[in-house]
Structure 1
Amino acid sequence: MTLRLWARRIAVSTASAAALVALAVPAEAATTATSASPAASTATTTAVSSADVDYDTWQKDCQAVMDQALPYLKQRIANTKPGEKQAIVFDIDNTTLETDFGFSYPQPPNQPVLEVAEYAQEHGVSLFFVTARPGIIYSVTDYNLEHVGYQVSGLYVRSFLDLFKNVAEYKTAQRADIESKGYTIIANIGNSATDLSGGHAEKTYKLPDYDGQLS
């Protein structure tokens, strides 16, 4: 991640924490499909490189990926096995929330992703969020997700020890933990390869990160 993006993330996190305290006082283009493994497949977008990412282009590209995801999810949910507990795992920054497009708090949702999440949660699918955000901003993150419409069944943030782990390995371990609770992860949605590698999901969908600019 570039120094510029780290600075933006720190600014957002600081603003988020301050906003939550204030509230409490009174009361990571056209798409292509590729196989991730024999048991999983990945939908992804073509790479676009630019000095600054255009918001409208980003939204269009996100919508293109979610247009692939939704028909699959509708079919998979309709074919839920008896006793099966279905789940979707999401990344947060520039996946479920518009992290790098403004500094407001709560951060607005990434609308194409929210629409897919709303369909899933309305049909009994549990939503889990696995992020590389540190545990110190767990509360502001959980509040933000719930505030904009996501029903959070579980939120995984990095502990101090997790900060020293490879991000991909850390996120894979969290999905394995979700499966250990009896869930079938029918989809994993993120905007970085580290969000999606390592298995433990029937299908993966990659949103655009434009060569790491939205990691």
Structure 2
Amino acid sequence: MQRDPMSLSVPTREEPPMTGSSWQRFVGVTAAATAVTAALMSPAVAAAPDATPAVATASTTTTNATAADVDYDTWQKDCQAVMDQAFPYLKQRIAGAGAGEKQAIVFDIDNTTLETDFGFSYPSPANAPVLEVAKYAQEHGVALFFVTARPGIIYSATDYNLKHVGYKVSGLYVRSLGDLFRDVAEYKTAKRAEIEAKGYTIIANIGNSATDLSGGHAEKTYKLPDYDGQLS
């Protein structure tokens, strides 16, 4: 789904908001970058052979529907069902962290950590079931990393949005110019490998697309509904 750039609302910031021509330029750049992202998004791919086999998903009855058939409340219920599976594991895994272990969770952004296809505004609201899990993790010393197919041109807007709604961002990975034509699953797998190379153990990887989760480099994966690819 594409955002209508005319529906973007000026954010309420702790710092002075952009006004006049600077805000108009920001809206134009954000809308253009969002269009580029949608055009360049690769189709979902099957999980690679080394991908983590334990994947929690919403019920197949629901996820086989199209986005046009699913309202916001249904989507939230489906997201909550997946997070209800993730939460007990994460609480246990966080409590059992080894001495000196640096734990991390990797998240997708669009329709995972932020609501981007069920309401069009900036800043986008947090996806409440995911934010609840994220807040528990960050309050218990787990680093939160965000790996998105969004282009680097909207890095600052994305970083602000995540922090504005309550996520503590330990790292945000967006696609550079060289990544724009790279397979999305390959790009996201490489970024998780980079996080591991920094000494982190990725205890969970949470997204709503196969491209968010394939390729391994996470102990557990949790898939939110995308309704046959209808959600970005």
Query: Which residue in the other structure is 1:189 paired with?
Result: 206
Query: Which residue in the other structure is 1:33 paired with?
Result: none
Relative to the length of structure 2, the TM-score reads 0.79
Kept in 2, the 8 Å contact 1:89–1:130? The answer is yes
Q: Distance in 1 between matches of 2:170 and 2:51?
A: 28
> Which deviations, in whole Å up to 9, do the C-alpha atoms of 1:153-179 show, x marking residues without a partner?
000000011001000000000000000
Relative to the length of structure 1, the TM-score reads 0.85
Structure 1 position 49 matched with structure 2 position 62: no
Aligned-residue CA RMSD (Å): 2.3
Structure 1's consecutive aligned runs of 4 or more residues displaced over 3 angstroms after TM superposition are 18-22, 36-40
Change (3 A) 1:159 1:121: same
Paired AA for residue 193 in structure 2: A
Query: Which residue in the other structure is 2:32 paired with?
Result: none
The alignment of Structure 1 onto Structure 2 pairs a total of residues equal to 198
Cα offset, 1:24, TM superposition = 3.9
> Which deviations, in whole Å up to 9, do the C-alpha atoms of 1:170-199 show, x marking residues without a partner?
000000000000000000000000000000
Kept in 2, the 8 Å contact 1:89–1:128? The answer is yes
Kept in 2, the 8 Å contact 1:85–1:183? The answer is yes
Q: 1:122 aligns with which of 139, 151, 175?
A: 139
Query: Which residue in the other structure is 2:108 paired with?
Result: 91
Q: Secondary structure at the match of 2:54?
A: strand
Structure 1 position 23 matched with structure 2 position 17: yes
Q: Secondary structure at the match of 1:188?
A: strand
Kept in 2, the 8 Å contact 1:176–1:200? The answer is yes
Give structure 2 stretches of 5+ with no counterpart.
21-48
Q: Distance in 1 between matches of 2:131 and 2:89?
A: 16
Structure 1 position 156 matched with structure 2 position 150: no
Q: Distance in 1 between matches of 2:186 and 2:219?
A: 18
